[in-house]
Amino acid sequence: MKDIRIAVVVTCSPVGKNAENIDKVARWAARARDQGAGLVCFPELNLTGYSNHPDILKAAETVPGPCSEKLAAIAGENKLILLAGLAEKTLDERVLATHLVASPDRSVQVYRKLHLAPPEQKIFSPGDRVPLFKTEAVTFGIQLCYDAHFPELATRMTLDGADVIFMPHASPRGEALQKHVSWMRHLTARAYDNGVFIVAVNQVGENGRGLSFPGNAVVISPSGEIMAKDLSGKEGLLLADLRAEDLAYVRDHRMRYFLPNRRPDVYHLKG
């Protein structure tokens, strides 16, 4: 990888306010650009808002569609890589929790949430691919909220070449500090066990459909150490410099990097 400054944006995203939410993305993207960021990550479903009730169908959009096209334009105008999420409506009327990757050339790629939390399973359909996204500076994966609880997914992404795994959340209830403590039970492990940067960000505020989000964000090094965090519980921009030397510190050391010494031949894992 190459050194890159990334930004994560804690933002409030009311359900169904798609036009307002994408306008907010444009404002935050410009701020991140002005502070030297090359990539900006927003929370899960920040464009359509998050809901685990049938009313999310009214906010859902196709890809390509209005939100994805506007996101591509914002990425092109600001020369940024933008990661932003929406409820994606398919042609057969299914809904997926999707995160878009818009590049400066105005192309758009997608990650579709693989692991659905129990309250989501009657509303959303799961994705079925584990894509990686390659840029000039870094190769990264995306996991959405509940995805982060499954260690195999982070290991798969790292083995496939990920330097960073972004974990956008729409995780409600509690306060920012409480959510941070909860995240520390597993997010530091994902970083440390795999020798990969972990970047997580949550929505904040009321969604207009009965859910409230605590608003927190964290960046974790490949050594499992916290590099930056935001526990303010407010909308805001968190910056972090992801450095190649921090990745090499782990991966070039025979005792710090565990993945080369895995024994998948003896695990015989069953689904």
Dump pLDDT digits (tens) for 154-170: 999 999 999 999 999 99
Using 50, 70 and 90 to split pLDDT, how confident is the model at 271? Answer: low
Q: Tokens at residue 167, please? A: 């974990």
Q: Which CATH superfamily is domain 4-256 in?
A: Carbon-nitrogen hydrolase (3.60.110.10)
Dump pLDDT digits (tens) for 94-130: 999 999 999 999 999 999 999 999 999 999 999 999 9
The rounded percent of the chain whose pLDDT value lies above 70 is 100
Nearest to 63 by CA among 47, 77, 39: 47
What residues have CB less than 8 Å from 106, skipping those under 6 apart?
72, 73, 75, 76
Q: Specify the pTM.
A: 0.97
The pLDDT, as a whole number, for residue 78 is 98
Nearest to 242 by CA among 190, 164, 180, 184: 164
**Structure letter (DSSP) for residue 61:** B
Indicate the domain borders of the chain.
Answer: 4-256
Dump pLDDT digits (tens) for 42-61: 999 999 999 999 989 999 99
Q: How many CA atoms lie within 13 A of 82 on its CB side?
A: 35
Using 50, 70 and 90 to split pLDDT, how confident is the model at 175? Answer: very high
The answer for 86, left when phi > 0, alpha when psi is -120 to 50, beta otherwise, is beta
